[in-house]
Structure 1
């Protein structure tokens, strides 16, 4: 059977709250603020012929776990060309445009992303969900799209098509 189906995962637990600032250029950034982010995942897969495609609970649980990893942190990007990160004992110092912005180390999550944006969060989730390509092929998954929302009507999505 070659029929495909799209499974949408959008559970109440697929959310996280985080503080951040977005960097626009070498000299301009947002003020520190936070959002209650929500995550949805669409998975396109081949039907198995028994009325289902695969046990998508595996991916639901993974997304919920990833949300928990990001929940209640001040998130700083480690790959920004405009932001330097210094660690000094109990503090993390974000250096931007000559300003030193101190945070308690216990409150900061350093992520390997270029900027703290919806686009980068979507890419972060997508990378983590698609790390095991053999598992994706085993589940006959053709594509995965992750969409991250910062509020109603505002989201970004990233999609990966899985090679057969």
Structure 2
């Protein structure tokens, strides 16, 4: 007999973040701009002995913590081969061909992704959420997924199969 699989979804105000970014695409670099991002988290899994998949409070806590790390920051793709980075004690210089920006280090976050697209922001958020849930001892999941919306009607989804440790 197979186990029943359940899906949970969390969308809350505290799962949003406002951030600036730019992406490189088709041989050019778009202008620096911002979004009021919204995040929706989905998990699939099996009931634990207490008859729930994962505590909603735990899921919301970790997702909100990740969103706070991105809030009011300039999101930069650390693994983008087209962008050069250099820094001194207080500033980070970002260069794409003849275009460059200088930001206070405290106002940027370097993400381990190749571009700050909604797809890769969802991938990053999903990986971070999986790691935090795993550290919290969650072991009932089958899949973790994250929607990142840049605005109404414009969102990307990334998911990760849960691998038992």
Q: Same fold (TM over 0.5)?
A: yes
Secondary structure of 1:123 counterpart: helix
- What are the within-5 Å matches in structure 2 for residues 19-38 of structure 1? 19-25=20-26, 27-38=27-38
Contact 2:62 2:133 in 1 (8 A): no
Given the superposition, is the C-alpha separation of residues 2 and 19 from structure 1 closer, same or farther in structure 2, using an over 3 Å criterion? same
Query: Which segments of 5 or more consecutive residues in structure 1 lack a partner in the other structure?
Result: none
Runs of 4+ in 1 over 4 A off after TM superposition: 132-138
Partner in structure 2 of residue 125 of structure 1: 125
Contact 2:85 2:92 in 1 (8 A): yes
Count of aligned positions: 163
Secondary structure of 1:16 counterpart: strand
CA RMSD of the aligned region, Å? 2.1
What are the Cα deviations for residues 91-127 of structure 1, in whole angstroms up to 9, with x where unaligned? Answer: 2111101333222223222222111111111111111
Q: Is it true that 1:4 corresponds to 2:5 in the alignment? A: yes
1:57 Cα deviation after fit = 1.6
Moved more, 82-91 or 30-39: 82-91
Partner in structure 1 of residue 94 of structure 2: 94
Secondary structure of 1:64 counterpart: helix
Distance 1:124 1:67 in 2: 11
What are the Cα deviations for residues 12-60 of structure 1, in whole angstroms up to 9, with x where unaligned? Answer: 11000001111114x4011111000000011101123654223232121
Q: Is it true that 1:111 corresponds to 2:97 in the alignment? A: no
Moved more, 11-20 or 54-63: 54-63
Moved more, 96-105 or 125-134: 125-134
- What are the within-5 Å matches in structure 2 for residues 45-124 of structure 1? 45-48=45-48, 50-124=50-124
TM-score (norm: length of structure 2): 0.88
